[in-house]
Structure 1
């Protein structure tokens, strides 16, 4: 069993919390009010809290297994050693699928929100053209260097945080209790629409690839890393709660049917909020925040996919090697964005389906196998075998729910 040691000068806790929270919180949050409109606020909060609990513990299970390996060991290395090549291939395919589908989702989202932004300036730029232009700009930044992405992300993330607090502070001030409690629909039914929200909740708490990175950052210091995971995921949960309050407290439940029918993309949701708030300054803040949210998510996801493909195909870090990787990274999702410009909601749902493998099922299997091989390490996720079983059921259940929803076997709020 590996000895657990702590680095001499451990970095601040805040850095790790920001890494986890920043990874989780992105443009995917715009899908939540639309897909949760059937279950509405209180049942949606129950789904979010349950998902937060399961996704936190699946991340802790990755940490438990990771602590038995040298610092720098990747998710890929641990999976291959503990579960074998078969599971490693399945895990790798699911990671690549999630990154590709999210890249497509953010091309779709960027096209829609840029189209809306240009419309506000009386410019008619088609969503397809806007999405293509933005994707090519991001591709250029990613091709330049990881350092260029890091600098751009830092700028965008800072702007996103500022506009987030300005926007949501204003949104909460406009919340109507009658709208939030859906007083107008006294006999409304909510629970039939609860299950279909779970895959979207799962996709909204993805951070698991960062757990090995935190061990490189802090050393084998499980107490600090656990705090990073708890506080980072809690930060996301709080912000999602504020977002649901701000949207469901301002847009009446029936109006979400029309938003979903128009594809549920970001521009449609922003237009709906603008229509009920009747505030030019808040409308401007929403548009600015939406642009920064999409940009930060787009940069983070595409850099992850770029690095994954470069490692997979063995492309070097030269200009030619990075160009080859950039082509593989951006061409398939750009084609998808041109053919299906309004697939944001569907893409987030499919990301949730694939993420069940590497964010729930594989972590539970890693924890079980790690305990069998290494005995009792100094850190072990509480709950024993029942907790592992819960995470497995959560992952498999989410996959089944998404498949049932895809073939129209679950009720849809319409």
Structure 2
């Protein structure tokens, strides 16, 4: 396998596997392991399918290095571009602000004091953005190299956690049935965002020079890695903690720290908690790189459309200053916007590629590559996308039960 394909697969996997993975067991607490597996595999299939749809449509792009918004304009005019650009940038800026805040907080914990705690946190936020942002500015080759290095550390930490937890798994914990079958539906939007690699499809297409075979291999391998990691992580946590312990944990401390404390107590090792924190840090960094690269590409595509300068000198401040400003001065306000991330991603990662593929197939009936499933597959995926977008509103109305996330 050529290095670029492997590098692209790892960038896709690195973008997909974020720190949110560690909160998954809390979200699935009342579902049981069996239904969690069904949900994960189903969502993996759905989002890999729509990722490949982007690749199918890219065959018709007028230029190799255009972004998804340019494809949307090509088929749906300026309205398509506006919807694609707004949904992408609001989603990515919100995510990046959250990652910068989290990364700065982690870094500030090992920095010397700069006066009060707030000042030290701001220094941590600035250093985190400056150091990692440099790799994004260098380009996808820089992100590729760093991602490979971080992935090794992430795998080592993850394997260590699994080795400590899996031997303590119990069959009766893994065979528990859902406390409420509707919880499976409520968890869909939260699990759905855990396969969000679509924001970097434009960069991957350019990096692999629009080679369909290479992109297809990169997408499939890049999504199978997180699916495997998610399944193993759920196996470990569901196996160690009984359903009653899970529910009790949610009532006491519905956060990652609560999960870390519980698993540390059960395994009897403080090292486990540190390894979970290490994995969380590495997952956050790789997600930061993927999201920042998505903004870089999206803003560049927008500037190119209006014949404005789109070099790195212009793109760097436009990519990092908005989320950095919110992370420094309004962290709570911007992170609150993450509540809409699932809704925005449902549009960008499901409805948009489906609509583009539908239109492209009408205008280009003899494309060299078509994703399996035909137009029936497009209709089924579209209906599922609408359902996923409606679920949060049904939870808000009390029609569906709320889950932790």
Q: TM-score per shorter chain, which class? A: 0.7 to 0.9
Question: Quick one: distance in 1 between partners of 2:378 and 2:123?
Answer: 45
Question: C-alpha deviations, 1:318-353, integer Å up to 9, x for none?
Answer: 768744653223112444435688x6xx93x53221
Aligned residues of 1:103 and 1:302 also touching (Cα < 8 A): yes
Question: Which of 346, 349, 355 is 1:356 aligned to?
Answer: 346
Q: Which residue of 1 aligns with 2:179?
A: 189
Q: Which residue of 1 aligns with 2:47?
A: 55
Label 1:131 to 1:157 Cα distance change in 2 as closer, same or farther (>3 A): farther
Question: Quick one: distance in 2 between partners of 1:336 and 1:276?
Answer: 38
Q: Which residue of 1 aligns with 2:19?
A: 27
Question: Which of 75, 81, 87 is 2:74 aligned to?
Answer: 81
Q: Which residue of 1 aligns with 2:32?
A: 40
Written as runs of structure 1 = structure 2, the 5 A alignment for 1:307-386 is 308-309=298-299, 312=302, 322-323=316-317, 325-338=319-332, 347=338, 350-386=340-376
Q: Which residue of 2 aligns with 1:288?
A: 278
Question: Quick one: distance in 2 between partners of 1:211 and 1:133?
Answer: 33
Question: Which of 197, 200, 207 is 1:207 aligned to?
Answer: 197
Give the stretch that moved more between structures: 370-379 or 289-298: 289-298
Q: Which residue of 2 aligns with 1:6?
A: none
Aligned residues of 1:25 and 1:204 also touching (Cα < 8 A): yes
Alignment pair present for 1:229 and 2:199:
no
Aligned residues of 1:27 and 1:290 also touching (Cα < 8 A): yes
Normalised by the length of structure 1, the TM-score is 0.82
Structure 1: which 5+ runs fail to align?
A: 1-8
Question: C-alpha deviations, 1:102-158, integer Å up to 9, x for none?
Answer: 22443565477679x78xxxx9x9997776554322222255462397365554333
Q: Which residue of 1 aligns with 2:64?
A: 71
Question: Which of 236, 240, 253 is 1:246 aligned to?
Answer: 236
Question: C-alpha deviations, 1:265-286, integer Å up to 9, x for none?
Answer: 3333222221222113323322
**What's the Cα RMSD here?**
3.4
Give, in angstroms, the shift of residue 66 of structure 1: 0.5
Question: Quick one: distance in 1 between partners of 2:198 and 2:180?
Answer: 31
Label 1:30 to 1:114 Cα distance change in 2 as closer, same or farther (>3 A): farther
Give, in angstroms, the shift of residue 79 of structure 1: 1.0
Normalised by the length of structure 2, the TM-score is 0.84
SS of 1:215 mapped into structure 2: helix
Question: Quick one: distance in 2 between partners of 1:56 and 1:13?
Answer: 16
Structure 2: which 5+ runs fail to align?
A: none
Question: Quick one: distance in 1 between partners of 2:201 and 2:293?
Answer: 17
Give, in angstroms, the shift of residue 379 of structure 1: 0.7
Question: Which of 377, 396, 402 is 1:406 aligned to?
Answer: 396
Aligned residues of 1:113 and 1:290 also touching (Cα < 8 A): no
Q: Which residue of 1 aligns with 2:262?
A: 272
Written as runs of structure 1 = structure 2, the 5 A alignment for 1:162-173 is 162-173=156-167
